[in-house]
């Protein structure tokens, strides 16, 4: 078995703690060892993955350093939590999950390099990782070439579908269309000002938004603006907004720019008392940096808020805080990252195999009833059926749930009429 010769993954203090945690569970692990025998390694792993009788190795590929560490830390934590919980409950097919963590360092080529390392050298059975579209685009050819399995947590622009990727966040139409319908119907918004950071996700999102506004809502787009990533001065833009007087500002600004944007909006007198604003790029994580008091009363459209009131979420939030401190916050992407390992577990168990081809084939139709956001299901196009929700930003950095779509929304990465 090639996996027995696999070099020990490098140690980090974190990993050691993790290994110790697993070692303290022998009583639990023992009976499941018996379970592993009913799934012999030779049978569940025909493609030379790092699977032994006792454990299975997965990769985790996020930015722990660099500018994206701000956003990706939550995902790293959530995936860790999910894996720990799965291990505590007996692992997958009687095998404990072991994690090899790699740092993409906010640098797309590094992501590609590390992805290749995980797949070729470590032979991991699945990878949980990536955050930005750019990092996903960088690793995608690697995953397709080396036939790996990636669970990607971020809401993103769509226009992509791969056998080797499960997208656990929303694709653009799921997040955008229902939210626009809501502001149109409930808040009577007819004219929109679209703002975004200058890269593919905001641009595609606004393209879809514009088509929907003009084509279906019979509304008007009175402005569409893009600013470079990391831009910190929005005063001229704010004046343009004032000139255009839109019913609703539709904001897809990301990263450090977000903070500058909302602080300067507030300082220029654009607050929720006077202006309707809907964003798809502000989660609880971003609110840490912006400060809830600086954008209170604005709306965000996501599939998950930390404040969701359901038993699954209560358990999840409690476990997350127990592990990462009472002050930890959970954003939409963090929750989506948490789904990854659980969905993978369900799929492997259905397929009865760790082989990537079988996992990919078994993915459509996989359900996860324990999801903090509520019930989710994998679509044939490897995206998730999920609900859309509107939350109102509160001054303490949390959201108040205002509305949610009655049904699960079908993912449609290549929406007809929106391209």
Which of the residues 48 through 87 are near other proteins (CB under 8 A)?
64-67, 69-70, 73
Report, in Å, the least distance between residue 326 CB and other proteins.
14
40/141 with CB nearer other proteins: 141
Residue 256 beta carbon to other proteins: minimum distance, rounded to whole angstroms: 4
- Between residue 166 and residue 205, which ones bind other proteins under the rule CB under 8 A? 198-200, 203-204
Which residues, 6 or more positions from 225, have their beta carbon under 8 angstroms from its beta carbon? 193, 194, 195, 196, 237, 240
Q: How far is the CB of 120 from other proteins (least distance, A)?
A: 5
The DSSP string of 203-256 is HHHHHHHHHHHHHTS--EEEEEEEE-TT----HHHHHHHHHH--SEEEEE--TH
291 in contact with other proteins (CB under 8 A): yes
Specify the residue, 295 or 371, whose C-beta has the smaller distance to other proteins.
Answer: 295
Least separation, in Å, of the C-beta of 290 and other proteins? 6
- Least separation in angstroms between CB 245 and other proteins: 9
Minimum Å gap between C-beta 346 and other proteins is 29
CB closer to other proteins out of 29 and 112: 112
Does residue 321 interact with other proteins by CB under 8 A?
no
Q: Choose between 198 and 410: whose C-beta lies nearer to other proteins.
A: 198
CB of 419 to other proteins, least distance (A): 5
Q: In what order do the strands lie in the sheet with 376-378?
A: 367-368, 376-378, 384-385
How would you class 52 by CB atoms within 10 Å of its CB: exposed for 0-12, middle for 13-18, buried for 19 or more?
A: middle
Closest to other proteins by CB, 74 or 340: 74
Q: Which of 45, 258, 347, 353 binds other proteins (CB under 8 A)?
A: 258
Total chain residues near other proteins (CB under 8 A): 81
Subset of 339-398 contacting other proteins (CB under 8 A): 397
Q: What is the longest distance spanned by two Cα atoms in the chain? A: 70
Applying CB under 8 A, which part among 112-120, 275-283, 344-352, 400-408 lies near other proteins?
112-120
**Site membership for other proteins, residue 269 (CB under 8 A):** yes
Tokens of 345: 């577990």
Residue that the structure tokens 């989660």 belong to = 283
Residue 51 gets which letter from DSSP?
B
Of the listed pieces 21-29, 34-42, 170-178, 283-291, which binds other proteins according to CB under 8 A?
283-291
Between CA 65 and CA 142 the distance in angstroms is 22
Query: Smallest distance, Å, CB 238 to other proteins?
Result: 8
Among 141, 215, 364, 365, binds other proteins (CB under 8 A): 141
H or E segment and range at residue 368: strand 367-368
Q: How far is CA 331 from CA 113, 161, 209, 284, 287, in A?
A: 28, 24, 23, 5, 9
Q: Is 388 helix (H, G, I), strand (E, B) or coil?
A: coil
Please report how close the Cβ of residue 192 comes to other proteins at its closest, in angstroms. Answer: 16
Which 8-state DSSP code applies to residue 402? E
d(CA 127, CA 164): 10
Give 107 or 404: the residue with its C-beta nearer to other proteins.
Answer: 107
Match 């079988």 to its residue by tokens.
358
Which residue do the tokens 């279906």 mark? 216
CA–CA separation, 70 vs 57, rounded Å? 26
Length of the chain: 419
CA distance 340 to 51: 19
Answer yes or no whether residue 273 interacts with other proteins by CB under 8 A: no
In angstroms, rounded to a whole number, what is the distance separating the alpha carbons of residues 1 and 226?
Answer: 53
Q: Which of 45, 168, 283, 294 binds other proteins (CB under 8 A)?
A: 294
Q: Taking CB under 8 A as the rule, does residue 116 contact other proteins?
A: yes
Q: How far is the CB of 275 from other proteins (least distance, A)?
A: 12
- Structure tokens of 139? 């690793």
Q: Which is nearer to other proteins, 270 or 371 (CB)?
A: 270
Stretch that binds other proteins, among 123-131, 167-175, 281-289, 363-371 (CB under 8 A): 281-289
Nearest to 45 by CA among 323, 403, 367, 356: 356
In the shown chain, the binding pattern of residues 218 to 257 toward other proteins, with x for contact by CB under 8 A and - for none, equals: ------xxxxxxxxxx-xxxxxx-xx------------x-
Shortest Cβ distance from residue 405 to other proteins (Å)?
Answer: 26
């Amino acid at each position: 078995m090639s996996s027995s010769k696999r070099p020990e993954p490098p140690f980090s203090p974190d990993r050691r703690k993790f290994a110790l945690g697993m070692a303290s569970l022998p009583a639990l692990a023992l009976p499941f060892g018996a379970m592993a025998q009913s799934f012999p390694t030779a049978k569940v792993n025909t493609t030379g993955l790092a699977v032994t009788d006792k454990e299975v190795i997965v990769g985790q590929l996020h930015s722990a350093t660099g500018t994206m560490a701000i956003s990706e830390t939550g995902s790293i934590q959530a995936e860790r939590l999910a894996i720990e919980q799965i291990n505590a409950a007996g692992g997958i097919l009687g095998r404990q999950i072991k994690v090899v963590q790699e740092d993409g360092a906010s640098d797309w080529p590094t992501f590609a390099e590390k992805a290749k390392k995980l797949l070729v050298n470590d032979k991991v059975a699945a990878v949980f990782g990536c955050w930005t579209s750019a990092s996903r685009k960088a690793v995608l050819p690697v995953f397709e070439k080396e036939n790996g399995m990636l669970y990607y947590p971020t809401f993103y622009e769509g226009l992509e579908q791969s056998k080797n990727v499960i997208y656990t966040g929303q694709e653009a139409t799921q997040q955008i269309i229902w939210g626009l319908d809501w502001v149109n119907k409930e808040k009577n918004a007819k004219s929109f000002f679209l703002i975004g950071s200058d890269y593919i996700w905001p641009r595609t999102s606004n393209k879809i938004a514009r088509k929907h506004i003009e084509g279906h809502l019979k509304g008007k787009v009175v402005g569409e603006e893009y600013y470079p990533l990391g831009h910190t001065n929005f005063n001229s833009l704010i004046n343009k907004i004032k000139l255009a007087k839109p019913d609703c500002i539709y904001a897809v600004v990301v990263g450090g720019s977000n903070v500058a944007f909302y602080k300067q909006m507030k300082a220029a007198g654009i607050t929720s008392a006077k202006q309707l604003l809907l964003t798809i790029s502000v989660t609880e994580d971003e609110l840490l940096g912006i400060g809830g008091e600086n954008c209170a009363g604005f709306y965000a459209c996501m599939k998950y808020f930390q404040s969701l009131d359901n038993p699954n979420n209560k358990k999840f939030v409690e476990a997350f805080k127990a592990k990462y401190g009472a002050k930890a916050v959970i954003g939409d992407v963090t929750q989506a990252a948490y789904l990854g390992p659980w969905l993978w577990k369900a799929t492997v168990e259905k397929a009865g195999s760790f082989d990537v081809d079988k996992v990919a084939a078994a993915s459509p139709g996989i359900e996860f009833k324990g999801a903090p956001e509520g019930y989710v299901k994998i679509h044939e196009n490897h995206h998730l059926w999920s609900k859309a929700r509107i939350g109102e930003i509160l001054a303490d950095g949390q959201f108040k749930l205002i509305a949610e779509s009655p049904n699960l929304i079908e993912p449609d990465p290549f929406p007809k009429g929106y391209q």
